[in-house]
Chain A
Amino acid sequence: MKNRLRELRAARRWSQADLADRCQVSRQAINAIETERYDPSLPLAFTIADVFGLAIEEIFHPDRAETTGNPAGH
């Protein structure tokens, strides 16, 4: 799953630790989500969306090639 976490965080000048504090998770969790090594649970995705004041779909995008096996992304 793709996400805009790093971009949104940078726009607000928050460090990973700042975002982790706001979401009440570890900095490693934020780092893993940003680098797409870990997909957050739905409750955590909602928390992240609340912290940024956005909808989940504005932050997280499904990786179509990964879910459908279609490298073109259609």
Chain B
Amino acid sequence: MRSRSLDFMEGTPYLRRMAKQVQQDQVTRAARRAVLIDGIPVSTLGVIALALGGNPDQSTAQKAWWIATTTAFTIAIAWVLLRAFRRADEYLRRIQLESMAIAFAAVLVGLQVATLLDAAGIIQLHQLAQLILLGGVGIWLLIADLRTRLHR
């Protein structure tokens, strides 16, 4: 009842309201685009590092490429995190931190399981480590995006 009266108080001409809606959507889209602009190259770098590390019988040159790519991937993740935090206000920062906490827990559990399987000789840990890290980044982005998307 109260919200209806407030909506009435807020009443603006239809076109103006639609323009506002479009503007809001543009702001939201711009924020998402910024995340994608940062996230896609870093994810691609992660996939490349993963592919380079997939071969168990690597030559010295291949190993050097793998280490270089992995280092670049790690620095890029730190850079993306820094940019995301600088861009965010206090509310979005809290959402990011909560999403990161969940992703961190998932990475810890994933690494623990992979370590146990490695000890049992079922898998090789170094092949899965980057995949687990990438999964963590994916979980972080997914949760942060869903939380801002569902509470508009």
- Chain A positions within 8 Å of B, measured between CB atoms, are 6-7, 9-11, 13, 15-17, 24-29, 31-33, 35, 37-38, 40-41, 44
Bound state CA distance, A38 and B29, in angstroms? 23
Complex partner residue of A26 from B9, B20, B91, CB under 8 angstroms: B91
Identify the 8 closest CB pairs spanning chains A and B, nearest first. Answer: A29-B91, A25-B89, A10-B9, A10-B10, A10-B6, A15-B20, A17-B24, A26-B89
Name the interface residues of B14-31: CB closer than 8 Å to any CB of A: 20, 23-24, 27-28, 31
A-B residue pair count with CB separations less than 8 angstroms:
53
Say yes or no: B94 contacts A38, CB within 8 Å.
Answer: yes
Bound state CA distance, A44 and B28, in angstroms? 21
Residues on B with C-beta less than 8 A from A24 are: 89
Given A38-B91, A38-B94, residue A27 in contact with residue B27 (CB < 8 A): yes
Q: With CB as the reference atom, state the residue of chain A lying closest to B152.
A: A31
Q: Is B112 an interface residue (CB 8 A)?
A: no
Q: Is B57 an interface residue (CB 8 A)?
A: no
Complex partner residue of B6 from A6, A16, A41, CB under 8 angstroms: A6
Residues on B with C-beta less than 8 A from A31 are: 151-152
Classify the interface of chain A: helix, strand, loop or mixed: helix
Residues on A with C-beta less than 8 A from B91 are: 25-26, 28-29, 32-33, 38, 40
Classify the interface of chain B: helix, strand, loop or mixed: helix
Bound state CA distance, A17 and B91, in angstroms? 15
In the assembled complex, the CB of B89 is this many whole angstroms from the nearest CB of chain A, namely 4
Say yes or no: B23 contacts A17, CB within 8 Å.
Answer: yes
Q: Is B62 an interface residue (CB 8 A)?
A: no
Beyond A9-B10, A10-B7, A38-B94: 7 further Cβ-contacts under 8 Å?
A10-B6, A15-B24, A27-B28, A28-B92, A29-B91, A38-B91, A44-B90
